[in-house]
Amino acid sequence: MRRKISIALSIIIIAANLGACASNAAAPADSKTTKASEESTSTSGSAPIKIAFSGPMTGDYAEYGQNFYAACEIAVDEINSNGGLLDGSPLELLQFDDKNSQEEVGAIAEMIASDDSISAVLGHFSSGVAMTAANTYLDAGIPLLSASASHPDYSGMGEYIFRNNVLISQEVETVLQICQNSGSKRVGVLVLKNDWGQGALQAMEAAYEQVKGKVDFEIVLQEEVMDGTEEFSANITKFMEKDCDTIFVLTMYATFAPFANQYRTLNPDIKMFSVGSAYSTELINLGGSAVEGVRMCAGFNPENPDPAAQKFVQQFNEKTGHDPDNMAVQTYENVNMVAQAIERAKSADRAAIKDALYDTDYDAITGHITFDEIGDAQKNLLVFEVSDGKFVELKDMNILPWNEFVASL
């Protein structure tokens, strides 16, 4: 049994908000997944197996939550069209809107955990929100699979906590190698002033300390911005005063795009690199020509010729009108891994699913997936550059395992 990490978090929720959460918790009545489950139930006569999805369906990060939920729907529809689980039980997907809010997710996690008919949880978006909810799920003994929680401490919270995405430490190590391979000399860092940003910054600082004075670049300035910032003139002035030729952007796309627009107006040649949090078609939609040449790491290429990958890309495009990002793909994989665990366990019991997840051996869209002893999937990263309004994989860029890179200097 792994050590459970206690997180001191204060959640203030008035009674009216509890009512609002309850009224918004269930999947919409016109949900295709819900209808498919009902049709399967009426045909098979078997009770559905329920899983919960919780993410930001509204609010500043709604684009992520909506993409994740679309990926869930695709997976559930496929499973049900192939006969469901455990000899005919349909899989039913319940939707919960946590708005990526640590203040709201506590009540939602309690609602999910206390419903004994729910077998597993998919979500949440940010590490802070996922970690707030995780203690409730641990107490109730219900598995949680995240496709996006990158904080190093997340999966170590307990044996019911899993993630199918890389740690932020691996992402920042990759971007530091991108800096080295791209001729960077003076690097500035723009980082969100929130829990995710501070975790990312700490990981970056730890990695940089291992290579400081050995790589061909130096980090000369760090600037923090609040989530939702739209005016960056003061930050850009400071970066320009430090003669930065590269900015390492540790934000989401909604912050990155206006920052890029404003910086490229003053310096069209500035290099900008980022992690998977900014890997979204919305970055290109909002940033336009200002994000041309931006380089970043992510775990999935929509141009992957694998038939299973192309089938999912087509289904996702039909549902949303755009390509999936790596986190949406990982969410799709998470549904399938839960389904496979249920089949291996021959049960929808929460503890049985948890045990079976550790035996995952899955040839997924993003590669072969197994979980280690603390519930982390073993993942690889790709490097992309925005070119002509698309993410283009830089297959020739040499990214080494971090220990090998450090030893090579």
DSSP H or E run through 93? strand 91-97
How do residues 178-225 score in pLDDT, each as one tens digit? 999 999 999 999 999 998 999 999 999 999 999 999 999 999 999 999
β-pairing, 161-163 vs 118-123, is unpaired
| pLDDT, tens digit, 9 for 90 and up, residues 62-85 | 999 999 999 999 999 999 999 999
Helix (H) or strand (E) holding 362: strand 362-364
pTM comes to 0.82
> Is the separation of the CB atoms in 335 and 79 below 8 Å?
yes
Which domains are present in the chain? 49-166+305-375 (3.40.50.2300), 168-298+382-408 (3.40.50.2300)
Beta-carbon count within 10 A of 394 CB: 17
Query: Is the Cβ–Cβ distance between 239 and 221 less than 8 Å?
Result: yes
CA pair distance 32, 77, nearest whole angstrom: 8
Q: Are strands 186-192 and 218-225 parallel, antiparallel or unpaired?
A: parallel
> Of 55, 86, 51, which Cα lies nearest the Cα of 68?
55
Q: Characterize the bridge pairing of strands 362-364 and 367-369.
A: antiparallel
Element (DSSP H or E) covering residue 52:
strand 49-55
Alpha-helix runs per DSSP H in 88-189: 102-113, 127-140, 168-181
**Dist CA 67 CA 281 (whole Å):** 11
**pLDDT in the model for residue 380:** 86
C-alpha dihedral over 77, 78, 82, 83, to 10 degrees? -30
User: Per the structure block, which two tokens stand in for 313?
Assistant: 């890309």
Which has the minimum average pLDDT: 9-13, 173-177, 391-395, 396-400?
9-13
* 131-182 per-position pLDDT tens digit: 999 999 999 999 999 999 999 899 999 999 999 999 999 999 999 999 999 9
* 33 pLDDT above the threshold of 60: no
